[in-house]
Amino acid sequence: MRVSFLIVALLTSHAAAFPAFIGASNATDDSTEVTSFSPGAVLNMADHPFVPPTETDSRAPCPCLNSLANHGFIPHDGKAITPDNLKQNLMSVYGLTWALATGLVESGWQACGKFTAGKKAPTDLREFAKHNKIEHDVSLAHADAAPGEEYAPVTTDQGILQDLISRSADGQILTLEEVSQFRVAHEDVAPVPLSVVQQLTAQAEGCLMLQRFGDTDTVPVADVQTFLGESRIPDSYTGPKGAAGFVNIGLCAAKMARTMGDIRSSS
């Protein structure tokens, strides 16, 4: 899927590490990774009101990046984004650890970013929509890139998003298992199968949403609609309650992979 440009880069660089998380029972946490926020710190969202993008603004096929722009944490026009500014806001707004944020930004620039004299240069968000670089097919809320297109769509496909939301049994909470059901249903009919790395990436993307706006196993449907549908940080979000790093995202992705395997086995 393309929804979180972010974890795509993570797993592209670190996919080999994720199989080790399957069935792990004694993995360490991310407490040793340096972060730029204090757990429980409150974001002052009053200073960062939501402002929808204009037609001339640059956007990516990722609600994490687009939300940072829509709330003015990074330039609202989505242009000339610097790697240091992006990394800082991934840590302070979403609670990504320094190691994870650094890995994502470094990988993202290597795949899609601009360079000047061999150094990372300011880059527009749209560059992260280059098809099958960081972006890939089978998204939680975006249509696949059309055949032959260099860039994937950056706007939400409401039909795909509503399909995801409709998986909720009670209409209030979306569970990890229900996200897994969506992934199985869409991945198994994809015209071009996802690579192993892309599958792992997609699982981790879903986990990032579950961890930031829910409790890892569940997330409110209203927040999913807001975040994926509008690229807007949900009103209920007051800041990261803990760090999101390689270990806890990896463990959650491994759980989703096992859940998807169970769904396929039982069908």
CATH code: domain of residue 228: 1.10.489.10
Quote the pTM value.
Answer: 0.87
Task: Give mean pLDDT, residues 216-240.
Answer: 96
Confidence of residue 44 (pLDDT cuts 50, 70, 90): confident
Please state, in angstroms and rounded to a whole number, the distance separating the CA atoms of residues 229 and 185: 20
Query: Is 181 inside a domain boundary?
Result: yes
The pLDDT, as a whole number, for residue 7 is 46
Query: Is 74 inside a domain boundary?
Result: yes
- Beta-strand ranges (E) seen in 73-227 are 114-116, 119-121, 173-175, 218-220
Amino acid at 52: P
The pLDDT, as a whole number, for residue 241 is 86
Share of the chain above pLDDT 90, in %: 81
Task: Give mean pLDDT, residues 172-199.
Answer: 96
Rounded to the nearest integer, the mean pLDDT of the chain is: 88
Amino acid at 98: W
Query: Is 226 inside a domain boundary?
Result: yes
Print the domain residue range for 261: 5-14+53-266
Contacts 24+ apart (CB under 8 A), 26-31: 27/247, 27/250, 27/251, 28/247, 29/247, 29/248, 30/97, 30/243, 30/244, 30/245, 30/246, 30/247, 30/248, 31/243
* DSSP category for residue 45: G
The pLDDT, as a whole number, for residue 201 is 86
Which residues have a Cβ under 8 Å from the Cβ of 123 and sit 6 or more positions away?
A: 80, 81, 109, 112, 113, 114
pLDDT at 132 over 90: yes
Query: Is 70 inside a domain boundary?
Result: yes
Secondary-structure percent of the chain, ordered helix, strand, coil, rounded to 5: 50, 5, 45
Please state, in angstroms and rounded to a whole number, the distance separating the CA atoms of residues 20 and 88: 29
Q: Both ends of the chain: CA-CA distance in Å?
A: 22
Query: Is 28 inside a domain boundary?
Result: no
The domain tally of the chain equals: 1
Query: Is 99 inside a domain boundary?
Result: yes
Q: What angle do CA 93, 201, 45 make, to 5 degrees?
A: 15
CA 22, chain centre distance (Å): 21
Please state, in angstroms and rounded to a whole number, the distance separating the CA atoms of residues 265 and 257: 12
Query: Is 34 inside a domain boundary?
Result: no
